């Protein structure tokens, strides 16, 4: 079961002026499953995205990158049950057909539609099921369908993921709402899932690529479940400009900082929800590395710990076999790391210092922390003033079962 995670109250997901969402059933993988989501954007909305760096990236990722260069994005279409990845030119053609069908319904150019897919890799996209479902998704469009969309984009997720915030930007109240899916094949080489965050704030178009990257780097690029980077990872940021704030055009100004903070809060909540809903997860684990020379080495060490199968299985067993954490720190690849100067904490318990077991540490202390559902591992490098935090979960028997039976 997910770790201290419940689906958001639909009423808590605030509508965004200039965004409507519609859901329909195409029965791609299961009959009756609501697996098509259509998102309509008002004219003038600004859109930017970051995508997987997996070289086997899916056809919709290729098209999204192309279509974003044209600007004036008016619609997003998302299907679950099929990734349209590893499908070659045929996959691109089918994704284009989907975009063209949406464009005809919405009265916009094909290049104004962004496609997204998630599900099984190496199978043809079933457009014979998708295209007939699009009119129903259009008919369902409404500004308050964020919760329905959060459920419709799920794959192996147990809990739908969504969050909202309000913030003051330039003397105006702006709203931020986001949804995401992801619980397996989660590891950063961009954003590790499908995520959509929208705001009614006005943002200059040339600032959007920096803003989406800034938000991704503190949220979706800080979570791992299993160390596998998906072929379909996409994080899309939408700014409709309908909050009547003065357009944000300076990345060094107070308005940019305020909006980025609100967007980041939503994205961090969604990213942490993916780790809490990690396939088979029973523990939510925060790995904080502090006192590094730069953020890169802090994240390098944090991810070595967070993606280690030996560390993750020890957490599942509540076994304080903490030498596994030391081993992960040691092989992380920070070649000039002095292990004699660092300290390792499990919760508030000092586990290791001066290159070995802390004199004050007892196995009973470690076991007590390991039994908790939320656990923090803290590594103090004591060689600088830079910190980084990543989130992960344990590996349980159910992780193997879920992935062994994924296609059945």
Catalytic residues: 192
d(CA 329, CA 290): 13
Going by their DSSP bridges, the two strands 374-380 and 284-292 should be labelled as parallel
d(CA 204, CA 199): 13
d(CA 23, CA 302): 38
Are the beta carbons of 26 and 132 closer than 8 angstroms? Answer: yes
* Interhelix angle 254-276/208-217, nearest 10 degrees: 40
SS3 of residue 45 by DSSP: coil
Query: Which residue's entry shows tokens 């190496």?
Result: 122
d(CA 220, CA 193): 8
Number of Cβ atoms within 10 Å of the Cβ of 163: 24
Query: Cα angle vertex 296, ends 180, 209, to 5°?
Result: 45
Q: What is the 3-state secondary structure (H, E, C) of 273-331?
A: HHHHCCCCCCCEEEEEEEEECCHHHHHHHHHHHHCCHHHHHHHHCCCCCCHHHHHHHHH
With a CB cutoff of 8 Å and minimum separation 6, the contacts of 336 are: none
**Which residues share a beta bridge with 34?**
25
- Put the strands of the sheet holding 374-380 in their side by side order: 356-357, 349-353, 343-346, 374-380, 284-292, 386-393
Could you please report the per-residue DSSP string of 5-27? --PPPGGGS---TTEEEEEEE--
Half-sphere exposure of 185 (CA within 13 A, CB side): 21
Distances (CA, A) of 240 to 63, 261, 310, 380: 22, 18, 45, 42
| Separation of CA 54 from chain center | 15
d(CA 229, CA 190): 8
d(CA 21, CA 129): 20
């Amino acid at each position: 079961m997910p770790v201290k995670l419940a689906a958001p109250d639909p009423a808590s997901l605030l509508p965004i002026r200039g965004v409507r969402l519609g859901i329909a059933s195409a029965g791609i993988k299961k009959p009756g499953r609501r697996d098509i989501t259509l998102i309509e954007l008002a004219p003038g909305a600004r859109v930017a995205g970051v995508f997987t760096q997996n070289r086997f990236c899916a056809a919709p990722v290729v098209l999204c990158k192309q279509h974003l260069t044209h600007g004036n994005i008016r619609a997003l279409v998302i299907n679950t049950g099929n990734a349209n990845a590893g499908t070659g030119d045929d996959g691109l053609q089918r994704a284009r057909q989907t975009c063209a069908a949406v464009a005809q319904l919405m009265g916009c150019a094909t290049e104004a539609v962004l496609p997204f897919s998630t599900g099984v890799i190496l199978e043809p996209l079933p457009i014979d099921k998708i295209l007939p479902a699009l009119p129903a998704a259009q008919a369902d469009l409404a500004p308050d369908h964020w919760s329905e969309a959060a459920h419709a984009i799920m794959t192996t997720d147990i809990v739908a993921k969504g969050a909202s915030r309000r913030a003051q930007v330039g003397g105006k109240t702006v709203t931020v709402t986001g949804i995401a899916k992801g619980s397996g094949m989660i590891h950063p080489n961009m954003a590790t899932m499908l995520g959509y965050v929208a705001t009614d704030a006005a943002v200059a178009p040339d600032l959007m690529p920096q803003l989406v990257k800034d938000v991704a780097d503190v949220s979706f690029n800080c979570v791992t479940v299993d160390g596998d980077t998906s072929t379909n990872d996409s994080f899309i940021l939408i700014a409709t400009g309908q909050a009547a704030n003065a357009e944000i055009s300076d990345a060094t100004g107070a308005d940019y900082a305020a909006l980025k903070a609100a967007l980041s809060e939503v994205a961090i909540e969604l990213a942490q929800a993916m780790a809490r809903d990690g396939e088979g997860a029973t523990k939510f684990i925060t790995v904080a590395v502090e006192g590094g020379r730069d953020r890169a080495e802090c994240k390098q060490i944090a991810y070595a710990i967070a993606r280690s199968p030996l560390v993750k299985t020890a957490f599942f067993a509540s076994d304080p076999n903490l030498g596994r954490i030391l081993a992960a720190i040691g092989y992380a690849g920070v070649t000039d790391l002095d292990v004699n100067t660092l300290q390792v904490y499990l919760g508030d318990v000092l586990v290791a210092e001066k290159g070995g077991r802390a004199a004050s540490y007892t196995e009973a202390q470690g076991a007590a922390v390991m039994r908790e559902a939320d656990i923090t591992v803290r590594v103090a490098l004591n060689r600088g003033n830079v910190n980084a935090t990543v989130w992960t979960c344990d590996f349980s028997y159910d992780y193997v079962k879920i992935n062994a039976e994924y296609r059945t």
